[in-house]
Amino acid sequence: MMILEDFIDRLKGADSLGGQRQVFERTISDAGFRFYTYNIAQIAGVGAHSPVFTTSYPDEWVQHYLREDYYSVDPLVSEGPRRQLPFLWEDITHPADLSLRQQTLYAEAADMGITCGITIPIHGRDGEYAGVNLIPDGTLREQAETLRQQRHFMHLVALYYHSHSGIHLLEQRFERPAPIVLSPREQEILTWVARGKSSWDVSLILNISERTVLFHIENAKKKLGVTTRTHLVVKAAMDGLISP
């Protein structure tokens, strides 16, 4: 966990979106990943829009991908919002299930060294969705080992990066949202949850019912626009709303 804590400290210390991106890129590189894409696809209160993303893919591939409108047929783009947990590309890209255009997309991606990876879906309230794609380096065997070893760690890294840097990326395109305020009780409960305590544990510590704990957790989820407890405590910590 020290590696994760170091990533969080360096991310918070970066004073620009470019600096935050460098921290993220260094972290995934150290974990054995060659390329990434971070895409904010669906934003509450905003209609259809062009992709809001950052990537380390070669410029040649990015321009080709956008020019060919592969975004509209990419299975990763359509599958991500349906998933709650990270998934490997090989789980959804069986050749027999792909259209001719999709097969062309993956054949051309393979020519650029983009063959296998993992997609990390990030959901918010009102249908908000962002996704992080990570492509490991090395031989196919080394890539498979990297995905196996780093899958859960990169899930946390992606959540922290989105919670801290997503808003700055959107500020380049959209109006800044109103600040989020948690009640003292919500802050107290989330602090204990962030320390690994269950709802039952928190109820005993604070001498309140477990139902009350769950009520405040659900309220906090709505305020922060998240759907899971893990994402909730990550976002609360990155926004400075709690200090685990």
The band of 173, judged by pLDDT with boundaries at 50, 70 and 90, is low
Residue 117's pLDDT band, with cuts at 50, 70 and 90, is very high
**Model confidence at 209: pLDDT above 90:** yes
Measured between alpha carbons, how far is 202 from 235 in angstroms, rounded to an integer?
A: 19
User: What is the rounded CA–CA span in Å between residue 158 and residue 187?
Assistant: 23
Place 176 in a pLDDT band, splitting at 50, 70 and 90: very low
Q: Is the per-residue pLDDT at 168 higher than 90? A: no
pLDDT higher than 90, residue 21: no
φ, ψ of residue 83 to 5 degrees: the values are: -105, 150
Task: Report which of 219, 218, 224 is spatially closest to residue 236, judged by C-alpha positions.
Answer: 224
Instruction: Inform me whether the pLDDT recorded for 170 exceeds 80.
Output: no
Distances (CA, A) of 65 to 62, 74, 104, 140, 218: 5, 10, 11, 23, 39
pLDDT at residue 222, rounded to an integer: 85
Residue 205 banded pLDDT, cuts 50, 70, 90: very high
Tokens of 226: 């998240």
Average pLDDT taken over every residue of the chain: 85
**pLDDT-derived band of residue 48, with 50, 70 and 90 as boundaries?**
very low
Q: Quick one: average pLDDT of 108-117?
A: 90
Name which of 109-123, 140-154, 221-235 the model is least confident about. Answer: 221-235
Tokens encoding 111:
């020519």
Q: Left if phi > 0, otherwise alpha if psi is -120 to 50, otherwise beta: which for 45?
A: left
